[in-house]
Amino acid sequence: MSSSILTLGPYKHRKDLTRESVLSKYEILGYIAAGTYGKVYKAQGKLKEKRKNEEDSIPSKLYAIKKFKIESNIKPNLMDNEVINYTGISQSAIREMSLCKELNHKNVINLIDIILENKSIYMILEYCEHDLLQIIHYHSHPEVKPIPIKNVKSLVWQILNGVLYLHKNWIFHRDLKPANIMVTESGVVKIGDLGLARKFNNPLQSLYTGDKVVVTIWYRAPELLMGARYYTPAIDLWAVGCILAELLSLRPIFKGEEAKFDINNKKTVPFQKNQFLKIIDILGIPNSTNWPSLSKYPEYYSFQQMVAGNSNLNTTNNLLNWYKLIGGNNKACFNLLQDLLHYDPNKRVTADNALVHDFFSEQPKTLIDNAFDGLNLKYPKRRIFTDDNDIISNSGRKVFNDSRKKVRQI
């Protein structure tokens, strides 16, 4: 046995001790959200040294730390003890990290660092105090306070600007929705959560093969509902159209119920009939005139059955009526909405053409880079939770353990 093998263990231990840990660089203030991927924490950078002739309370930057769950399975061994086998990190986490390392744009969330510690991976991201879901909720509760059209204009322009950057770099997001659109306190929009994002240049196989279901149901484009095996960045523009409609009406425009997978056949994706019906209610039944390739999609038979079984379906496009019903009166805004919500992905406006749409050049003018320009209100800061934390240092120390402090704002 070589000496290099004998010293590998001690070398790795020494390396681990010298590597900077999450807790040595950041103070964890609480967690913002939790999901199947793990948790996102709000953190504050630790200052290495205090500046001379300044007060002790020097402000330090805020960060969002995304901790991915450890992929593992537990099996009993012959001695009836549990043995944990680590199976690695999820595919979506690998994609998100690899893509974020290459991206650099003012309207896409910025990756600061990646830290590997205690078999866990942490993405250190710039922190944004708001997201569109939170902003929409503020404007709709407890009483309705419409978002001024010039602020809607800035929000949507910045989203499109970030989407264009992604598409120019052969990336589509595949999960654009209000909860994934961050906004800084200075009104700069940042597209976040690239867990479902994929590069689409020269794919070796159908994107459907790797990810049969993409985009949260309310923002899922018609071609995806029709089972498209190959699709284009137009799916992101449909989602932007849904977001624009939600900013105007303060509620989702197509709020359907997702059909769940059959527990006995999880390989077959169910046809999303309810969601399609919600779209038809406003846009009418698609046909070979407004969507020439409709009959070529895998779910065309299911679509025909749905139409045949509902004799009272809306046959005409009622988007203009919907727009007037919510109080919309800006013609250019409606035209952009219509361009984004075409059934046919080939007719849907692209991100670069949308950015030069008349809606953004007409009055009222707005500061494109400040979505809060002229707003006489202050959005509440994110709630953070301090009842549970699973960031542990190499010494086994947790950051906070006071379960009495369940929610706070910082």
The domain that holds 56 is classified in CATH as: 3.30.200.20
Question: Does 142 lie in the same domain as 115?
Answer: no
Mean pLDDT of 218-230: 95
Question: Does 140 lie in the same domain as 115?
Answer: no
For residue 396, the model assigns a pLDDT of 55
Model pLDDT for residues 283-292, shown as the tens digit of each residue: 999 999 999 9
How many CB atoms are located within 10 Å of the residue 372 CB?
20
Question: Does 171 lie in the same domain as 48?
Answer: no
Question: Does 391 lie in the same domain as 317?
Answer: no
By the 8 A CB rule, do 71 and 87 touch?
Answer: yes
Asked whether residue 308 is domain-assigned, the answer is: yes
Peptide bond into 142 cis (omega under 30): yes
Q: What is the mean pLDDT of the chain?
A: 85
Mean pLDDT of 338-366: 94
Residue 154 CA neighbour count, 13 Å, CB half: 22
For residue 56, the model assigns a pLDDT of 53
- Tokens for 151, please give them: 């602020």
Asked whether residue 87 is domain-assigned, the answer is: no
pLDDT at 410 over 60: no
Question: Does 208 lie in the same domain as 155?
Answer: yes
Asked whether residue 188 is domain-assigned, the answer is: yes
Question: Does 230 lie in the same domain as 119?
Answer: no
What does each C-alpha distance from 81 to 66, 76, 84, 410 come to in angstroms? 31, 6, 10, 43
pLDDT at 364 over 60: yes
Asked whether residue 333 is domain-assigned, the answer is: yes
* CB within 8 Å of 318: residues ≥ 6 apart: 281, 282, 283, 284
Mean pLDDT of 58-75: 75
Question: Does 348 lie in the same domain as 253?
Answer: yes
Amino acid found at 202: N
Asked whether residue 78 is domain-assigned, the answer is: no
Question: Does 167 lie in the same domain as 106?
Answer: no
Segments forming the whole domain that contains residue 400: 21-70+102-128+384-405
Asked whether residue 38 is domain-assigned, the answer is: yes
For residue 213, the model assigns a pLDDT of 81
What are the backbone angles phi and psi of residue 182, rounded to the nearest 5°? -90, 155
> What are the residue numbers of the active site?
175
pLDDT at 204 over 70: no
Number of domains in the chain: 2
For residue 360, the model assigns a pLDDT of 94
Return the CATH number at 353.
1.10.510.10
By the 8 A CB rule, do 244 and 337 touch?
Answer: yes
For residue 6, the model assigns a pLDDT of 53
Mean pLDDT of 196-219: 80
Asked whether residue 97 is domain-assigned, the answer is: no
The model scores a pTM over 0.85: yes
For residue 404, the model assigns a pLDDT of 40
Question: Does 276 lie in the same domain as 138?
Answer: yes
For residue 37, the model assigns a pLDDT of 74
What does each C-alpha distance from 342 to 237, 293, 367 come to in angstroms? 10, 13, 29
d(CA 83, CA 267): 30
Model pLDDT for residues 314-337, shown as the tens digit of each residue: 999 999 999 999 999 999 999 999
Question: Does 396 lie in the same domain as 278?
Answer: no
Model pLDDT for residues 226-273, shown as the tens digit of each residue: 999 889 999 999 999 999 999 999 999 999 999 887 766 667 888 999
Question: Among 52-61, 242-251, 348-357, which stretch is predicted with the lowest mean pLDDT?
Answer: 52-61
* CB within 8 Å of 344: residues ≥ 6 apart: 290, 291, 292, 293
Nearest to 345 by CA among 296, 266, 409, 292: 292
Question: Does 173 lie in the same domain as 114?
Answer: no
Asked whether residue 135 is domain-assigned, the answer is: yes
Question: Does 207 lie in the same domain as 355?
Answer: yes
